[in-house]
Amino acid sequence: MTPPRIAVLTGAGVSAGSGVPTFRDAAGSLWRQYNPQDLATPEAFQRDPVTVWEFYDWRRQLMADCQPNAAHETLAAMDAVLPDFTLVTQNIDGLHPLAGSKRILYLHGDIWNLRCTSCSYSEVNRQAPLDPLPPICPQCGEMLRPDVVWFGEALDLDILHQASVAFTLADIALVIGTSAVVYPAAQLPLNTLNRGGKLYEFNMERTPLSGLATATFLGPSEETLPRWWDERRQAWGL
């Protein structure tokens, strides 16, 4: 039997079992006196880059010791055996590649990538804490910034297009650990449904997508996803 084409959308919930603080957890813990939504903007970086960098350096330190969980590992296993598979993530924590996933589209960037605010330089950098802070471009001497999408910034159109195509062509969409309220990410799985495909959701609770989903598996995705995959891979002879 030919294995189905699968497109996956992940959000903060897939990393909750790894202890990664979500953006909203970070907000809850009130880093200094700031509302993180006011720091994760291009305007804040322009006004006070040192404070914005200190906030990201703190988040990098919180994420540095986190390890992939069984949900990340299951997605990496699917990537390894399914010929047509795309993982689209809203997460910036880098746990999908750490688990071994290869075909990843990063909708909101990657906190372990730094890029220059002036020239085309970019680098992978896992140092936490960073020294010096803010980091400086070795190519032109200007400041580097975290390669993440801030509030008010556009998503990369090429990545969004590739994600949209993957979900449109998919036989099965998996939506894992996302509140499915942030657009355009939440729209992607509807492309699969609109072409007659199936949508399976994995979350602790019901979301705005649940009413449309073929099935919603309630519970921690580090438990529900490996179970789902074990049953399917046998049926598909994988």
Nearest distance in Å: CB 203, ligand APR: 4
Contact indicator for 102, 72 with CB cutoff of 8 Å: no
Compare residues 90 and 113 and give the one whose CB is closer to ligand APR.
Answer: 90
Nearest distance in Å: CB 126, ligand APR: 20
Compare residues 192 and 216 and give the one whose CB is closer to ligand APR.
Answer: 216
108 is catalytic: yes
Compare residues 37 and 194 and give the one whose CB is closer to ligand APR.
Answer: 37
Q: Under the rule (CB under 6 A), what is the footprint of ligand APR?
A: 11-13, 16-17, 22-24, 90, 108, 177-179, 182, 202-205, 207, 220-221
**Residues 104, 106, 112, 117: is their CA dihedral positive or negative?**
positive
Nearest distance in Å: CB 207, ligand APR: 6
Output the six-digit token pair for 154: 């556009």
Nearest distance in Å: CB 208, ligand APR: 10
Nearest residue to ligand APR by CB is 13
* Measured distance CA(11)–CA(185) in Å, rounded: 10
Compare residues 5 and 60 and give the one whose CB is closer to ligand APR.
Answer: 60
Output the six-digit token pair for 114: 């730094």
Angle (CA) 39-40-45 rounded to 5° is 70
* Measured distance CA(234)–CA(227) in Å, rounded: 11
- Exposure b/e, 192-202, CB count within 10 A at least 16 = b: bbeeebbbbbb
Contact indicator for 114, 131 with CB cutoff of 8 Å: no
Nearest distance in Å: CB 150, ligand APR: 9
Which has the closest alpha carbon to 185: 47, 7, 6? Answer: 7
Q: Measure CA 100 to chain center.
A: 14
Catalytic residue among 72, 96, 108, 161: 108
SS3 93: coil
Compare residues 24 and 161 and give the one whose CB is closer to ligand APR.
Answer: 24
- Exposure b/e, 15-42, CB count within 10 A at least 16 = b: bbbbebbbeeebeeeeeeebebeebbee
**Catalytic machinery residues:** 108
